[in-house]
Amino acid sequence: MAAADIPSAALRHHDLCSRGIRLARKMRSDVTDLLDIYVERQGLDASISVAAVDGVPAAAAERWAEQSGTQRLLDNLAAYRAFRTLLAQMLEEQREQLGDADAELGPALAAVLLQVSAFAYHLEELLELESRGAPAEEGSEPPAPPRLSLFEQKLRGLGVLRELAQWAVRSVRDLRQLAKHGPGTTLEGSGTALGLPESQ
């Protein structure tokens, strides 16, 4: 059974990587469009600099090239789960601010949120395929974000989207790496990966 499953697993892995890459690209494209919409609708300046936002995972990673496949998947999964939460929060805030009258930003946010969810699902599938299993999400509610002013909410949203765009680019690269090496290769260094926290 295992022998028969190896080719199908490899195909499945390849398919997941391939579609994950395309999804990440689409997400990158959509997030870029969403950023334009967001800046415009929130009355922000596109050139405004936003400092690191608490709770937003950073795409930049030291020794990225040295990471194992599983580690990459786990990092991505943690990041996208965080983005999913942040985007859901942004969507709620946006509805509170603009209501349902805004027919452009809300749907765009929802679409990106769905893509983030889909990508997280991809990552879980890949982890499942590598017999690693996706770490469970935290069962309890995430810690309530500190109460922010409206402007701070806008800035935080801008930071989330910018970081998501970065992550989309990184995810494409990560999945390419995974696709190159196949499902077996990702097991390298899995021992270190196991020690990673399951959630961020």
Partner 1 sequence: MFSGWNWAVHCFYLFLNICSFEVSGGLVQSCGHIIPESPVLALGSNFTALCILNESCLDFGNIYASQIIWKMKNKVVPKEQYREINITVSSVTFNDTSSLASPLTCNVLADGQIEQNIYGISVTVGLPPEKPENLSCIVYQLSNLRYPMNCTWNPGRHTFLDTHFRLKYRWSRESFPDCIPKSVNNSCTISDVQFFVNLEVWVEAANALGKAESDRLVFDPIEIVKPLPPHNLSVNSGILPTVLKLSWENRISAAVMKLKFNIRYRISSDTNWMQVPPEDTASPRTSFSIQGLRPYTEYVFSIRCMKEDGVGFWSDWSEEKVGVTTEDNPSKGPTVWRTIDASPSPAFWTVRLMWKALEPFEANGVILQYEVTVRAKPPLSHPPWRYNVTTTSLTLKLPNGTYEVTLIAHNRVGASPPSVLLIPSSNSKAPVKNIRTLPKDGKLWVGWTAPNNVLKYVIEWCLMSNSSDCITEWQVEPGNIQGTYLKGDIKPFKCYLITVYPLYADGQGSGQSVKAYLQQDRPSKGPTVQTKKVGKAEAVLTWNHLTVDEQNGFIRSYTILYKTVDGNETAVSVDPSKTEYTLSSLTSDTLYTVRMMAYTDEGGRSGPDFTFTTQKFGRGEIEAIVVPVCLAFLLIVLLGVLFCFNKRDLIKKHIWPNVPDPSKSNIAQWSPQVPAKHNFSSKDQMYPEGSFTDVSVVEIEADDKKSFSEQDLKPFDLLKKEKSTSEGHSSGIGGSSCMSSPRQSVSDSDEGETTQNTSSTVQYSTVVLNGYRDQTPVQVFSRSESTQPLLDSEERLEDHAGGSDGTTQRQHYFKQNCGQDETKTDRPFFERAKQIISANEEDLAGFAQLQISGQSSQPLGFELEENTQEAALPDVLQTSTEGQTVRPETVEGNVPSVDEMPKSYLPQTVRQGGYMPQ
By CB under 8 A, the residues from 122 to 151 that bind partner 1 are 122, 124-125
Q: Which is nearer to partner 1, 104 or 152 (CB)?
A: 104
Q: How far is the CB of 14 from partner 1 (least distance, A)?
A: 14
Q: Among the candidate windows 59-67, 74-82, 117-125, 187-195, which touches partner 1 by CB under 8 A?
A: 117-125
Among 30, 75, 130, 163, binds partner 1 (CB under 8 A): 30
> Any idea how long the chain is?
200
Token pair of 79, please? 């990041």
Total Cβ atoms within 10 A of residue 77 = 24
Of 169, 147, 167, whose CA–CA distance to 156 is shortest? Answer: 147
Give CA–CA dist 127/107, Å, rounded: 30
Give the 3-state DSSP-derived string for 133-177, with helices as H, strands as E and coil as C.
CCCCCCCCCCCCCCCCCHHHHHHHHHHHHHHHHHHHHHHHHHHHH
Asked whether 76 and 174 are in contact (CB, 8 A), the reply is yes
180 binds partner 1 (CB under 8 A): no
Q: How far apart are CB 73 and partner 1 at their closest, in Å?
A: 15
What are the tokens at 87? 């985007």
One residue of 111, 169, 187, 196 binding partner 1 per CB under 8 A: 111
Contacting residue, 39, 44, 88, 114, with partner 1 by CB under 8 A: 114
Considering only residues 69 to 108 of the shown chain, the ones binding partner 1 according to CB under 8 A are 107-108
Q: Is 39 in the site for partner 1 (CB under 8 A)?
A: no
Nearer Cβ to partner 1 (137/188): 137
Task: Tell whether residue 64 is a contact of partner 1 (CB under 8 A).
Answer: no
d(CA 81, CA 90): 14
Site residues (CB under 8 A) for partner 1? 19-20, 22-23, 25-26, 28-30, 33, 107-108, 110-111, 114-115, 117-118, 121-122, 124-125
